[in-house]
Amino acid sequence: MKWIKKTPKRRVNPNDSIEEQIASIRGIKDVNRFLSPTENELFDPYEMKNIEDASNRILKAIHNNENILASYDPDADGVTATTVMLRYLKNYTDNVDYIYGERNDGHGITEQLRIKGLDEEKDAERLERSKSNLEKVKKCDLLILIDSSSNDVETCKNISELFNCDIIVLDHHAIERENPYVLLVNPQQEGCAYPNKYLSGAGVVFKTIQVIEDNLGQVDVWQYVDLVAVGIYADIMRIDVLENRYLIMHGLRNVKNTGLLRILKGAKADLYKLNCDSIGFSIAPMINGVARMDNIKLAIDIFLEDDDNICKKIRLQMFKLNELRKEKQKEIVNQYLTKVNPNEKVLIVFDEQSSKGFNGIVAQQLSDIYKRPAIVGRIHKGTISGSFRSYAGFDMKSFLNDSNLIEEAMGHPQAGGFVLKEDNLEHLEKYIEFNLPKLDDTEPTVIYDIEIDVKDVIEYIGVSEKFNLLAGNGFPKLVIRIKNITVEEQVCIGKTEETVKIKTFDDMELIRFKVDKNYASELGYFDNIDAIGQLSMNEFYNFGLKKKISTPQMIISDYKIKTDES
């Protein structure tokens, strides 16, 4: 693996504090504002196009006791966003219900209501759900489509005209066609002055209920910010946007939803020290796990439930299903790895057994492993459908659409779905080869921010944790190179033997997850190494010693044995 030191975005002054030096490397102008954003970073919700009209229509429905129906999109943002709306509305009306679809059905109201083309035996569950959804739509006066459906024009037209139903769409996905049959609140739409274009569906819902509550004044909408935080972060919105940073941090500090608390407790999270990993590794995988296993109802139920005893049972079901998901995902990734051509500029892998619920996460893993975009899908009856994932911020969605070969590329610029005629596959491969830069170097590369000596670890660890408290899209975690580490031994830990710990004589430990048990087995006593990765303090309570143990720890990306020549 090649190691490259990041080029600072502005000149680093060695006399500055460690925080200021890192801020210079990352191009942060005001480090205190970035690390500790306040409510001053919030934009006025009234800047969002149509938000007052949408809020007034919801107010009218509440006042007139109309039947309100909200739709759940089957991912973490869709689940949290719709839960926020339902929980809020139930403060004012009992005439509110919801519909939903499973991840393998697809996204949007069209797929939630699809009946045509479904087999009565093969698709029995989906057919029953679609019919139930349709009956609810027929009876509602106001349909609120959340985190999807901006572009479902034909279905919205039919609902509006056939059932005399008003439709509000609260979404954040790209607008691909005009939808005159809905009242659209979406920061991506033309003419919307809202500055934050990286707000998720949960964020759009939160802004909407803020406007509604300006008229009603009886509910503290900030009680739902924990769910909003999960939606924004889990949907991989940019977290270098200060409004998003404030909402996520405020949510992590104010977790009140019973279901969220139960998931965190089940993951043995420290509720007083929650960070972005609490969402990324504990909450989001549970939601997306049950979604990929076609049981999104469990996630819906746990966040709508206030009885912790019931939440315990639901969480256990979610946990067991997510463990099955992990096993299935591992099998699929291993299967796809045998089909990858590492010399391709974009990894393209298709399989007849491809699962819609797993395509995205498999494409993401391939992209992470090979450091380039990936396309994963299924060829069926002359049509290829699947998911794409980009790499290093490249707008893969536009790139695919610009080819004029793709039937449709949907979703986000770096992550979404696509449909392609099989006859166009060869043409797409030529388009990619001709239009993307040549991959001269296929060696995996890791870019690090700073390098320090092992004796300075304690000095840097607190600062590193401050920056990594909230890291992700737009601001990845700090990567540090630590020099002159003296190895004690390598040990394999965990039930699955996929975690390796390297003990050292330097009062710190190195750890690597999801590797073979022989990883780093060549290291011996007193070997001198440099390691590269993410630095943190590993804290746990030792019941035998009856005290908390704190050990500096690096989650390593790579290491190099130092020789006399090096």
Which CATH number covers residue 159?
Answer: 3.90.1640.30
Give domain status of residue 248, yes or no. Answer: no
Both 229 and 95 in one domain: the answer is yes
pTM of the predicted model as reported, rounded to 2 decimal places: 0.89
**Residues 79 and 143 both lie in one domain:** yes
End of a domain among 435, 465, 481? 435
Amino acid at 342: P
- Looking at the fold, whether 269 and 418 belong to one and the same domain comes out as no
- The answer on 44 and 103 residing in a single domain is yes
d(CA 487, CA 244): 41
In the listed set 310, 330, 350, which residue is the last one of a domain according to the structure?
330
The closest of 408, 426, 407, 366 to 390, measured between CA atoms, is 366
CA distance 246 to 255: 14
Name the strand (E) or helix (H) holding 421.
strand 415-421
Do 221 and 298 have their domain in common? no
Shared-domain flag, residues 485 and 463: yes
Q: What CATH code is carried by the domain that includes residue 358?
A: 3.10.310.30
Burial of 108 (0-12, 13-18, 19+ CB in 10 A): buried
Per-residue pLDDT tens digits of the chain, which is 566 residues long: 889 899 888 888 888 899 999 999 999 999 999 999 999 999 999 999 999 999 999 999 999 999 999 999 999 999 999 999 999 999 999 999 999 999 888 889 999 999 998 888 888 999 999 999 999 999 999 999 999 999 999 999 999 999 999 999 999 998 989 999 999 999 999 999 999 999 999 999 999 999 999 999 999 999 999 999 999 999 999 999 999 999 999 999 999 999 999 999 999 999 999 999 999 999 999 999 999 999 999 999 999 999 999 999 999 999 999 999 988 888 888 888 888 888 888 888 887 666 677 888 888 888 888 888 899 988 877 888 889 998 877 888 888 888 888 887 877 788 888 888 888 888 888 998 888 776 655 567 788 999 999 999 999 999 999 999 999 989 999 999 999 999 999 999 887 778 999 999 998 999 998 888 889 999 999 999 999 999 999 887 777 777 888 899 999 999 999 876 55
CATH at residue 546: 2.40.50.140
Residue ranges of alpha helices (H) inside 352-494 are: 356-370, 396-401, 425-435, 457-468
Last residue of a domain, one of 236, 265, 284: 236
Residue 375 forms part of a structural domain: yes
Treating both helix axes as pointing N-terminal to C-terminal, what angle do 297-304 and 76-89 enclose, rounded to 10 degrees? 40
In one-letter notation, the amino acid at residue 485 is I
In a domain, 510, yes or no: yes
Chain centroid to Cα 303, Å, comes to 18
Is 517 part of a structural domain of the chain? yes
Is 246 inside any structural domain? no
Residue range(s) defining the domain that contains residue 316: 255-330
In a shared domain, residues 320 and 369: no
Shared domain for 368 and 319, answered yes or no, is no
Specify if 230 maps to a domain: yes
Asked if residue 241 is part of any domain, the answer here is: no
Contact yes or no for 511/502 (Cβ under 8 A): yes
Q: Are residues 350 and 468 in the same domain?
A: no
Closest-CA residue to 247 (of 264, 225, 231, 277): 225
Q: How far is CA 274 from CA 75, 430, 468, 538, in A?
A: 22, 47, 12, 14
Domain identity same for 212 and 175:
yes
Residues 124 and 226 grouped into a single domain: yes
494 shares its domain with 539:
yes
**Is 245 within a domain?**
no
Number of domains in the chain: 4
